[in-house]
């Protein structure tokens, strides 16, 4: 009893330190100072290019394009650009990582079978946190699957998702979240968490996910921003999620991305009734019945 209490206390301290390091908030506070003129100018240039490219569609009566263009002000774009220059290993804030921890602790307590996967990993930080959680909580069986193109976001088809096509013009300016496989593996190594409980699925989801040698999942985390990418991940993986397991959708609350429509359509098509639980302005999750 005494030993397990001491272990839990140590695990909590380790996880707190890991979370603060991954989010780069151990020594620094996230920069919420007013946007500078330089930041706004950089964004205004991107806004102008996007308007030049998509404006004619809006003028021709495409209301979705028109509405999306209105959302993209220089302030919004500059906020995205600033977030990307933050030197963290994950784009999540501590609430997002706490949500992963909540799900995994429940999975382990209730012995829900299956591995963990994140689709869309950027620098790998959230998967590193998943591996750290397994270690701290004493699970030596489950695998963390790390799925990404490792060459950034795909170029969306504007006729499928104009939202994504417009967002992509901004995201291209900051490299469309491109991080190489080697860089992500080096990040795992830096935390001493690169081992045989971590497996990588490099490539486009349409080529990798359905064929992946994954038998069962207890936690799926989707953070792929776009409509098509989210559809592909849901179609390939949801049937492998164990009852009692969790699915987290990172970008559900972001009005300029297509992930939400993909999730709404998928839930309607499969008559999924479990309520969506909000984590913060962007992230939602549900438990599979």
Ligand X SMILES: C[S@@+](CC[C@H](N)C(=O)[O-])C[C@H]1O[C@@H](n2cnc3c(N)ncnc32)[C@H](O)[C@@H]1O
Q: Give me the residues that bind ligand X (CB under 6 A), please.
A: 90-92, 118, 120-122, 125-126, 148-149, 152-154, 177, 204-205, 223-226, 229
**Nearer Cβ to ligand X (114/120):** 120
Distance CA 264, CA 214 (A): 25
| Contact indicator for 219, 245 with CB cutoff of 8 Å | yes
215 membership: H or E segment, kind and range: none
Q: How far is the CB of 216 from ligand X (least distance, A)?
A: 22
Q: In the complex, which residue's CB is closest to ligand X?
A: 120
Residue with Cβ nearer ligand X (93 or 287): 93
Nearer residue to ligand X within complex by CB, 58 or 225: 225
Separation CA 241–CA 92 (nearest Å): 23
CB under 8 Å to 248, separation ≥6 — which residues?
99, 100, 103, 219, 220, 221, 222, 279, 283, 284, 285
Q: How far is the CB of 126 from ligand X (least distance, A)?
A: 4
CB of 67 to ligand X, least distance (A): 22
Kindly tell me the burial class for residue 196, based on how many C-beta atoms sit within 10 Å of its own C-beta (0-12, 13-18, 19 or more): exposed
Shortest distance (Å) from residue 208 CB to ligand X: 7
Nearest CA among 11, 139, 153, 37 for reference residue 91:
153
Q: Contact, 245 vs 217, CB < 8 A? A: yes
Please report how close the Cβ of residue 63 comes to ligand X at its closest, in angstroms. Answer: 26
Phi-psi region of 37 (alpha: psi -120 to 50; beta: other; left: phi over 0): alpha
Minimum distance, C-beta of residue 275 to ligand X, in the bound complex (Å): 23
Nearer to ligand X, 169 or 225 (CB): 225
Nearer to ligand X by Cβ, of 58 and 219: the residue is: 219
Minimum Å gap between C-beta 271 and ligand X is: 26
Q: What are the beta bridge partners of residue 15?
A: none
Indicate the Cα dihedral angle 145, 149, 155, 161, nearest 10°. -10
Distance of CA 48 to the CA centre of its chain: 28
Residue 183 or residue 277: which is nearer to ligand X going by CB? 183
């Amino acid at each position: 009893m005494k030993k397990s209490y001491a272990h839990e206390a140590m695990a909590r301290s380790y996880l707190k330190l890991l979370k603060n390091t991954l989010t780069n908030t151990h020594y620094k506070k996230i920069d919420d100072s007013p946007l500078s003129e330089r930041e706004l100018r950089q964004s205004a240039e991107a806004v102008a290019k996007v308007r030049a490219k998509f404006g004619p569609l809006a003028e021709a009566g495409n209301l979705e394009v028109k509405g999306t263009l209105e959302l993209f002000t220089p302030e919004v774009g500059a906020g995205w650009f600033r977030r990307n220059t933050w030197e963290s290993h994950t784009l999540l804030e501590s609430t997002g990582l706490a949500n992963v921890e909540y799900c995994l602790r429940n999975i382990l307590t209730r012995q829900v079978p299956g591995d963990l996967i994140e689709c869309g990993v950027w620098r790998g930080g959230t998967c590193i946190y998943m591996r750290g959680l397994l270690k701290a909580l004493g699970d030596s069986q489950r695998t963390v699957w790390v799925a990404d193109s490792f060459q950034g976001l795909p170029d969306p088809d504007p006729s499928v998702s104009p939202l994504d096509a417009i967002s992509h013009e901004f995201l291209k300016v900051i490299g469309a979240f491109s991080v190489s496989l080697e860089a992500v593996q080096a990040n795992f190594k830096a935390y001493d968490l690169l081992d045989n409980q971590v497996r990588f699925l490099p490539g486009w989801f349409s080529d990798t996910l359905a064929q992946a040698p994954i038998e069962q999942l207890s936690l799926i985390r989707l953070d792929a921003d776009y409509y098509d990418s989210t559809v592909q991940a849901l179609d390939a993986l949801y049937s492998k999620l164990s009852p009692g397991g969790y699915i987290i959708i990172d970008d559900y609350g972001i009005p300029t991305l297509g992930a939400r429509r993909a999730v709404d359509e998928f839930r309607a098509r499969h008559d999924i009734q479990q309520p969506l639980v909000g984590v913060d302005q962007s992230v939602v999750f549900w438990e599979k019945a």
